[in-house]
Amino acid sequence: MNRIEGVILDWAGTAVDFGCFAPVNVFVDIFNQAGIEVTMEEARAPMGMLKIDHIRAMLSMPRISTLWKDKYGRDFSEEDVHRLYAAFEPALMASLTEYTDPIPGVIEAVEALRADGLKIGSTTGYTRSMMDVVTQGAREKGYSPDHLVTPDETGSYGRPYPYMIYRNMEHLKLSASWKVVKAGDTASDIQEGIQAGVWSIGVVIGSSEMGLSQEEYDRLSAAERAEAIERTRRAFLANGADFTIDTLAELPALIGTINQMLAKGERPGQAQRLQTAEL
């Protein structure tokens, strides 16, 4: 039957940790400790990648690379990458328990998807040891997908490689990539979905791409919220998303729409081309 069989969700910024603040704050801190002041925007730009790859991506940014060379008199090395990561991992582990709250509406959306017979997988930029903390905290608060794959299970080939999605498909016995939806909150999530050949969906509110905490978002005026939502939506579409949704609460209805498209023979990528034509 031509219909969606499974949904694969990102974790921080999509299912838990509104705004994806746990890793961002630590990235800023470890660079500051190394004498390099980075912005929140720079710390967020590679979000969704395996965290050591994220550090490498930050060091490769022209402004940060120049600051590093000015301070240390040389280009950064792999030794520097690993030294920063050695500071990052324990700092993140120490704070992760504070960032496991499910984003509002997520638990109800997952219940609705399961009631429709869908399986729930998940991928992440966190390592398995980090996810041991996150999954326990989220489970205690009512959120637990059917399966989790971390980059540890794919030879450290995290996003944007598609392998974590494929491992989910194998475990959950999903029959075809075009019968799978991937939802996430970063450009890396969107690229992971595209490269896996699944339907790739950007979740706007609470996303790392939007970059606002729950409190900051709640303080926005109606006009400011609309602007932040539209800016984030356009960023996802520019990165190739098939669709965007404001929150995961909209996902069950969107899957109904995708099922109608599948019945007509449409496949991932076709909806995105129509939407980007409007930008």
**CATH of residue 191:** 3.40.50.1000
Residues 146 and 233 placed together within one structural domain of the fold: yes
Output Rg (C-alpha) for the chain, integer angstroms: 18
- Given this model, what pLDDT does residue 1 score? 79
Residues 176 and 238 placed together within one structural domain of the fold: yes
**Residue 53 a catalytic site member:** no
Look-up of token digits 């800023």: 28
State the Cα–Cα distance between residues 169 and 5, nearest whole angstrom: 10
User: Each residue of 87-108: pLDDT tens digit?
Assistant: 999 999 999 999 999 999 999 9
Catalytic residue among 17, 51, 53, 242: 51
Residues 108 and 220 placed together within one structural domain of the fold: yes
- Given this model, what pLDDT does residue 273 score? 46
CB 182 within 8 A of CB 198: yes
Which residues are documented as binding site for Mg(2+)?
Answer: 10, 12, 185
Q: Which of 55, 71, 98 is the last residue of a domain?
A: 98
Is 1 within a domain? Answer: no
Low-confidence ranges of the chain (pLDDT < 70): 270-279
For 94, the domain range is 21-98
Bond before 162 cis per omega within 30 degrees = no
Residues 126 and 56 placed together within one structural domain of the fold: no
Residues 155 and 74 placed together within one structural domain of the fold: no
Residues 179 and 153 placed together within one structural domain of the fold: yes
Helix (H) or strand (E) holding 132: helix 128-140
Residues paired with 183 in a beta bridge: 9, 201
Is 211 within a domain? Answer: yes
DSSP single-letter state for residue 127: -
Residues 62 and 123 placed together within one structural domain of the fold: no
Residues 66 and 107 placed together within one structural domain of the fold: no
Of 88, 20, 28, the C-alpha closest to 64 is 28
**Residue 242 a catalytic site member:** no
The pTM (predicted TM-score) of the whole model is 0.90
Alpha-carbon distances, residue 208 vs 23, 97, 174, 237, 248 (angstroms): 10, 18, 28, 15, 15
- Given this model, what pLDDT does residue 275 score? 53
Of 143, 132, 151, 23, the C-alpha closest to 88 is 23
Residues 16 and 114 placed together within one structural domain of the fold: yes
Residues 143 and 254 placed together within one structural domain of the fold: yes
**CATH of residue 69:** 1.10.150.240
Q: For residue 111, how far is the Cα from the chain centroid?
A: 21
Q: Which of 98, 128, 153 is the last residue of a domain?
A: 98
Number of domain units in the chain: 2
Catalytic residue among 10, 53, 189, 242: 10
Residues 230 and 262 placed together within one structural domain of the fold: yes
Tokens found for residue 265: 């023979």
Is 143 within a domain? Answer: yes
Residues 41 and 130 placed together within one structural domain of the fold: no
Is 111 within a domain? Answer: yes
Q: Which of 98, 115, 131 is the last residue of a domain?
A: 98
